[in-house]
Structure 1
Amino acid sequence: MSTHWITTPVTADLLRGALDLERTAHGVLPHRLPARARAQCADPQLALAESQPSGVRLAFRTRATAVELDALPTKRVYAGAPPRPDGVYDLLVDGHLAGRASVPGGHTLTIDMATGAAEHRPGQAGTLRFTDLPDRLKEVEIWLPHNETTELVALRTDAPVEPVPDRGRKVWLHHGSSISHGSDAASPTTTWPALAAALAGVELINLGLGGSALLDPFTARTLRDTPADLISIKIGINVVNTDLMRLRAFTSAVHGFLDTIREGHPTTPLLVVSPLLCPIHEDTPGPSVPDFTALAAGRLSFRAAGDPAEVAQGKLTLAVIRDELARIVRQRAADDPHLHHLDGRDLYGEADAAELPLPDELHPDAATHRRIGERFAKLAFTADGPFRP
């Protein structure tokens, strides 16, 4: 017997975690930065990162036993590197994982890591299908791939859908680098912020932007203008990766970033998280560059290309940044009792690196994401933490 499909337009009231929706020739493209912010930066790395829907999910109530989603992904290929797996969609039914799948096809973006050049080849949309869902009224979430730009073309179900009513849960707004974005996590619900949010029972808005946690004023204004009950910012590693600024500029930029957030959230609990341990950059400045010796052997890896002798002239390492972030928070906390600090090595430190080393020298694997998420939930969301209930 053929299924009687109902097509429902994908609108903002069916999406969580996105701050903007762009209508395209194919459907809608969720963005994690608003259009005004995107217009202020021409960096292709930022454009790629913010369009990858980490933490973005379709959420609706329905009695449907079958759901189809037509989507048009953009899949990255790094020239000379091993193929990347297709992006993963996680299906949650009443908060529990009930399915996992990928969408074939899509556009292809081939990136030459030696030159930075990129080639875009157009492709076709594919269909994601989940069947045999329980025949009762339930909440359904489809978490989009955290690392794959995704245009949503059509949502079909065999019963009507409606937006999920507000459950009164606190909204946690988090900003960070590629690790917060979810780099090398197994799926969108197993990035460390998604895991921590699930453990704490909060609604996540993830502004982890791979390669782009650079203290940009437009990102600070986005955090300022986004309603939230809890805010965390994890900063430092990308400033070193890109060799973007010296200590003098970094200190001023951190103060300005925090000032801007406080304009919109004067008393919201605000947690500043310093970088996780990253051995190649603990005492060696950036930039981070591809390790072409590893690439020739078919392995993606990075190395630190800076000169430790230049730290005396203000070049930044993770050790320098951690000390400065701790000092800034101590200084400001005298007048801001809702401002808090967490040393990133409490989430991933030397013992963790010995047990679970970073596979490419920069990013944690799936097991490490789980460890970081569990530790963050324990340190931030429990009775003694800055985000205590």
Structure 2
Amino acid sequence: MFELSTRAQDFVERTQKFIHDEIEPIEAEFWHDVHAQNSGGNWTTWQWPETLETLKATAKAAGLWNMFLPCPELGQGLSVQEYAHIAELTGRSLIAPIVFNCNAPDSGNMEVLWRYGTEQQKQQWLMPLLEGKIRSVFCMTEPDVASSDATNMQATAIIDGDEIVLNGRKWWSSGLGDPNAKIMIFMAHTPDESKDRHHQHSMVLVPIDTVGVKIERMLPVFGDYDAPHGHGEVSFTNVRVPLSNFIGGAGQGFEIAQGRLGPGRIHHCMRCIGAAEKSLELMIDRGMSRTAFGKEILKLGGNLERVAEARVAIDQARLLTLYAAYKMDTFGNMAALAEISAIKVVAPSVLEKVVDMAIQIHGGAGVSRDTPLTGFFAQARALRLADGPDEVHKGMIAKIELAKRGYSTRRQK
């Protein structure tokens, strides 16, 4: 079921080699430069090291570019399941997804424009994103409501003649601090009493320099601003854009979101698995290179059992994620709803567990920036909230299970 074609296997092998030869030797120095150049929350001065553009150009020349996009003309034509193996490899590095132009939120935004955008939208925004010339932002979560229920959204996108008027406040808008961020996808309420509640929201393209758009602040994750990418809070005050900036038309926001989030969750989960693999390797190497009380640290206490537990958990998570990808490729996103929700619960939790073990084995070094472990831990914990919290996904799984037996999870009147 999970056997790769010769072409897909070639992409996997070349990606693995590129990461080993080009990224891993410079990654520690790269992040040292990032932290030295981008201190504090003043995003107006944030910059990427020049090394990034060099790596991107090398990856692009090698054909390891836009591998997430299943379109053979604009991407590499890989299926969701085929790309999943590549996503796992990129998850071993905190920079690799950017190097291959396969990083969130850009990959999801590019897929939205590819699937639902007009030709004009594709030429203006999709092509520069695919070329890696600009970055993008996705604005959905809001500070004043429980965003786990997206119908709570207070931001509005109101049609006024030949314009859309946007008002609202968004936060945890990833990529907002990037110096190359040029375009945002803004999801908001477009009231229409003739439609049900899942057809009253829209996605709108908003250039970041549009009048009325104000970046309020960057938000630190566990004290780290994740510069120069950043996660920010942004306000929209009477922002006006043309009607042509609707993606797919007014009221299509939820339909588009489902198309966007399905593949994106596979990507996130496989990157988690890659990070868990890297964490396990670091844990073993550290534990076998240090001694205490006359033994290697890994042989003390229950550490060997923890290694075994990590291996079992990682392999289970990988198989479940590949199965979800297979169902998406074979039957479509809707047929894989339970599996997509399941992996979104499982994969970040597995990474959180494994990286916690690795941190413990590393001692003080584990909570420093000397290894990628703190970055992996922040990634795991944040992903248990991003793209829907664990509780929402568990609710979806339970709803589907009850429906199999003819029951409903709705409240009885």
Structure 1 and Structure 2 fold alike (TM over 0.5): no
Instruction: Determine which structure has the larger helix proportion and give its number.
Output: 2
Bigger RCO of structures 1 and 2 (CA < 8 A, at least 6 apart) = 1
Instruction: Determine which structure has the larger strand proportion and give its number.
Output: 1
Q: What is the TM-score when the length of structure 2 is the normalising length? A: 0.27
